[in-house]
């Protein structure tokens, strides 16, 4: 006899990005090379300034940092935001252990069990995990792949609002779709947020990665909802340092900051070493940022063109971030993605994709879709897509025979 | 108008260890030197091996690590546990962002809203914060300063058990009291745990710091409750590297591990750099560990002797860890601790203590007690205690006048 785990534990979804990790490892153990398009772990090197800062840490004690983060880092982040026309003081920034902890603490401090938030889908899967952690309920409006995943009509948001609705969450530029919300769309969201006095959680960790002429507009810049916005941020993607676990909650809502700080004090402090690296990263020269940008731009163009050449595959052109959601000529992408890892190889290769069903809460949505990350170089992407094309052909010929 | 924060946010306690940080900073701004006895941030240097490992990180990308932690670190931790006679495989270890995240995830994966856990008090204040985060309810049994804070009679635990009781939590060696549970006491707890099929959360982060002949016994070694025990661990105190944020959840309960992993996957990974440092730390030579041990031993003896020389002050002799809870000749230690920072100085010095009320959930308990950390050298402690003695004299002479 042993004690029972929590119902919450049972309800927690497995990460759609990581749940096939075991199958991928098994494939590698069999000697198959696995192209990893499942996770946003870029192959781009971390900026040399950041790595250099590590080697020059001359502290004798690796001690706790302040619960809100090291002051010099928060001052630097404030300067960074000003480059984007965002007027944010260092006091309005609370450093977290990655954007993940920022989402968790924002939900914990804003939402009670049974409170509702509205999220356009497909959405970053871990929002659901953090909502379950906080006991909150996600209501979703569904973006359509055939519309390029643009914002669903605001009437659909309005229709979901109940007395328990506490907020709307957007990810902009969007993970997993790459969509960037237009000014018109953001003003419509701001209008709902203001009229219903909601929180607007805005995850903007892909701010630097906008490949279109649509200017990126931060929720922090939207008029009339200054104290409603809770910005989620992270240095992970921007400087290719996902492992250092440094993110932030930014809000002008003073009482909310005081409450978030209680959760921060309970966990004592964000990682010290990561903060030192993050602070050095903010000084990364423009050439590095431009190199990374150009690289993703080329990868995106290659990936989307090649995807749409594969019979039955469709991907809209993502405007930002480094993912796309593509539809495949299969009924059940969960089954297909697992099959590819378990049973398929093409010249010794297979491919690891994230089934998109895990990015939807609406049952049945996205069943034929996958999320692909273009965080590897073009040769790698070419190999991965050749493998995907061969896998689809074999899978569908088998299915039709069966 | 702005949206309301969560009730949970209001319920969250401010850290008793950190809530006076602002008052301490204000004192420093006025030019007063502040002796910090509030927080377990040792002045002992981090092991040279650990700092050296930092300088030799030759990675080009600071990427995500596995959600469960780097395998080589988990293997090394398994070896470390074997030195204490604990038979733990690397698969039974999940690396977390500090012991704090270990407590949070253990609660999240074991406890549902309304579930109850029993904790002997005084207790590490952040357990309460994590219980509130998980919606769980703490029921407490009160240890008595006059008994040296030994385990309260097991009948008191039994009396609190309801159908909602899911676990018992102990911290051993204890923060804040320094008490180490005897084999007899642990077997009594194990008996309750087994009979009621409970989880036993055992926080053993001070395992290395036992100053008496009472041998340290891990809950992982208790017979008959192998799958009930959830060990909370951290490298922070052991190697004086609180800032790297590396801890662990260890359990033989396989379903529980699978569930904890869902929370781990949602936050992607523990800090990469901290894991590299932690792995190097486990090779810290015995001389370093002995030096640290001897140092704390001397500090403890000095602190307790000097405390008990101050009129009206009483502290039992802590058996382990590096804290003590002392009673002061004041009615309200919260008021006294704030007054000392706000209004008192003695030859340009003041002293920062953690009021013990925050380590109790039972109202009114510990009102005249404070927690003191002996993480500074003896000269520092001597200065701090002279200041405390002067502060008590002035505070009580003022109170009597008023």
The mean pLDDT value for A78-104 works out to 96
Minimal C-alpha gap between B310 and chain A (Å): 31
For residue B290, the model assigns a pLDDT of 95
CB contact under 8 A, A113 and B133: no
Contact A77, A282 (CB under 8 A): yes
Residue among A62, A133, A167 minimizing CB distance to B243:
A62
Contact B173, B186 (CB under 8 A): no
Q: Within B43-182, where are the H helices?
A: 48-55, 71-82, 98-110, 126-134, 154-160
Q: How confident is the model at residue B9 (pLDDT cuts 50, 70, 90)?
A: confident
Paired tokens of B97: 């962002």
Contacts of A101 in chain B (CB under 8 A): 97, 267
Contacts of B22 in chain A (CB under 8 A): none
For residue B288, the model assigns a pLDDT of 95
* Helix-helix angle B126-134:B98-110, to 10 degrees: 40
Rounded distance, CA A353 to CA A369, Å? 10
List pLDDT tens digits, range A332-368.
Answer: 999 999 999 999 999 999 999 999 999 999 889 999 9
Q: List Cα–Cα distances, B79 to B90, B275, B355, in angstroms.
A: 9, 16, 38
Residue B214 confidence (pLDDT) above 80: no
Q: List Cα–Cα distances, B83 to A194, B69, B70, B187, in angstroms.
A: 60, 21, 21, 22
Q: List Cα–Cα distances, A373 to A41, A143, A389, B374, in angstroms.
A: 8, 19, 17, 50
CB contact under 8 A, B240 and A41: no
Contact A95, A247 (CB under 8 A): yes
Residues 6+ apart with CB under 8 A from B343: none
Rounded distance, CA A137 to CA A127, Å? 11
Paired tokens of B362: 């039972």
Contact B369, B325 (CB under 8 A): yes
For residue B15, the model assigns a pLDDT of 77
List pLDDT tens digits, range A213-260.
Answer: 877 999 999 999 999 999 999 999 999 999 999 999 999 999 999 999
CB contact under 8 A, A273 and B273: yes
Residue carrying structure tokens 């469960």: B68
3-class secondary-structure state, position A118: strand
Residue carrying structure tokens 């290659």: A302
CB contact under 8 A, A273 and B274: yes
Which residues sit opposite B167 in a β-bridge? B117, B199
Structural element, H or E, at residue B380 = helix B378-401
Q: Is A101 on the interface with B (CB under 8 A)?
A: yes
Residues 194-253 in A contacting B (C-alpha not used; CB under 8 Å): 197-199, 227-228, 240-245, 253
Contacts of B241 in chain A (CB under 8 A): 61-62
CB contact under 8 A, B62 and A41: no
For residue B42, the model assigns a pLDDT of 83
Paired tokens of A196: 């219903």
Contacts of A270 in chain B (CB under 8 A): 245
Q: Is A148 on the interface with B (CB under 8 A)?
A: no
* Helix-helix angle A272-281:B272-281, to 10 degrees: 140
CB contact under 8 A, B10 and A46: no
Q: List Cα–Cα distances, B35 to A61, A70, A137, B39, B335, in angstroms.
A: 18, 21, 46, 11, 18
CB contact under 8 A, B253 and A44: no
Q: How confident is the model at residue A401 (pLDDT cuts 50, 70, 90)?
A: low
Q: Is B14 on the interface with A (CB under 8 A)?
A: yes
CB contact under 8 A, A108 and B266: no
3-class secondary-structure state, position B322: coil
Minimal C-alpha gap between A55 and chain B (Å): 4
For residue A272, the model assigns a pLDDT of 98
Paired tokens of B63: 């990427």
Paired tokens of B28: 């420093």
Residue B311 confidence (pLDDT) above 90: yes
Residue B402 confidence (pLDDT) above 70: no
Residue among B126, B245, B259 minimizing CB distance to A5:
B259
Residue among B12, B110, B167 minimizing CB distance to A259:
B12
**A to B CB pairs, distance under 8 Å:** 274
Contact B53, B280 (CB under 8 A): yes
Q: Is A90 on the interface with B (CB under 8 A)?
A: no
Q: Is A182 on the interface with B (CB under 8 A)?
A: no
For B45, other C-beta atoms within 10 Å of its C-beta total: 16
Interface predicted TM-score (ipTM) of this complex, two decimals: 0.94
User: What single string gives the DSSP state of each residue in A20-79?
Assistant: THHHHHHHHHTT-EEEE-SS----SPPPHHHHHHHHT---SS-PPPPTT--HHHHHHHHH
Structural element, H or E, at residue A370 = strand A369-373
Contact B170, B202 (CB under 8 A): yes
Residues 6+ apart with CB under 8 A from A25: none
Kindly list the structural domains of chain B, giving each domain's residue range(s) and its CATH number in brackets, ordered by start.
7-45+286-401 (3.90.1150.10), 60-281 (3.40.640.10)
DSSP annotation of A368 reads: T
Phi, psi of A34 (to 5 degrees): -110, 115
List pLDDT tens digits, range B91-110.
Answer: 999 999 999 999 999 999 99
Verify cis geometry, omega within 30 degrees of 0, for the bond prior to A122: yes
Q: List Cα–Cα distances, B76 to A155, B93, B97, B160, in angstroms.
A: 56, 11, 17, 39
Rounded distance, CA A284 to CA A282, Å? 5
Q: How confident is the model at residue A402 (pLDDT cuts 50, 70, 90)?
A: low
Percent of chain A residues past pLDDT 90, beyond the cut: 91
DSSP annotation of B330 reads: S
Q: How confident is the model at residue B204 (pLDDT cuts 50, 70, 90)?
A: very high
Contacts of A129 in chain B (CB under 8 A): 262-263, 265-266
User: Dihedral through CA A189, CA A192, CA A198, CA A202, nearest 10?
Assistant: 0
CB contact under 8 A, B97 and A100: no
Minimal C-alpha gap between A115 and chain B (Å): 9
CB contact under 8 A, B18 and A265: yes
Residue among A1, A101, A242 minimizing CB distance to B197:
A1
Residue among B243, B263, B270 minimizing CB distance to A269:
B243
Paired tokens of A342: 């378990």
Rounded distance, CA A184 to CA A188, Å? 6
């Amino acid at each position: 006899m042993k004690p029972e785990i929590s119902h919450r534990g049972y309800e927690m979804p497995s990460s759609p990005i990581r749940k096939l990790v075991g199958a991928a490892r098994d494939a590698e153990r069999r000697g198959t090379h696995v192209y990893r398009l499942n996770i946003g772990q870029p192959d781009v090197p971390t900026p040399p300034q950041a790595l250099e800062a590590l080697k020059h840490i001359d502290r004798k004690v690796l001690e706790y940092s302040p619960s809100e983060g090291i002051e010099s880092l928060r001052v630097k982040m404030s300067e960074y935001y000003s480059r984007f026309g965002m007027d944010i003081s260092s006091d309005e920034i609370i450093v977290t252990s990655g954007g993940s902890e920022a989402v968790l603490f924002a939900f914990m401090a804003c939402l009670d069990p049974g409170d509702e938030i509205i999220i356009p889908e497909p959405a970053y899967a871990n929002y659901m995990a953090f909502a379950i952690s906080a006991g909150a309920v996600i209501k979703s409006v569904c973006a359509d792949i055939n519309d390029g995943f643009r914002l669903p009509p605001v009437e659909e948001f309005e229709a979901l609002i109940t007395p328990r609705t506490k907020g709307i969450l957007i990810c902009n530029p969007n993970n997993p779709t790459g969509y960037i919300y237009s000014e018109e769309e953001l003003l419509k969201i701001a209008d709902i947020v203001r009229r219903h006095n909601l929180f607007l959680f805005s995850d903007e960790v892909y701010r630097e990665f906008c490949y279109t002429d649509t200017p990126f507009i931060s929720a922090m810049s939207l008029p009339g909802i200054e104290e409603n916005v809770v910005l989620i941020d992270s240095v992970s993607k921007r400087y290719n340092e996902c492992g250092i676990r440094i993110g932030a909650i930014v809000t002008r809502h003073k009482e909310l900051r005081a409450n978030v700080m209680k959760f921060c004090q309970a966990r004592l402090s964000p990682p010290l070493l990561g903060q030192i690296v993050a602070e050095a990263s903010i000084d990364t020269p423009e050439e590095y940022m431009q190199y990374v940008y150009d690289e993703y731009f080329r990868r995106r163009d290659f990936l989307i063109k090649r995807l749409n050449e594969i019979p039955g595959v469709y991907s809209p052109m993502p405007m930002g971030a480094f993912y796309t959601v593509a539809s495949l000529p299969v009924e059940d992408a969960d089954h297909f993605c697992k099959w590819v890892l378990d049973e398929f190889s093409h010249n010794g290769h297979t491919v690891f994709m994230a089934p998109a069903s895990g990015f939807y809460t609406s049952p049945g949505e996205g069943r034929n879709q996958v999320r692909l990350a273009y965080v590897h170089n073009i040769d790698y992407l070419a190999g991965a897509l050749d493998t995907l094309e061969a896998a689809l052909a074999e899978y569908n010929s088998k299915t039709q025979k069966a």
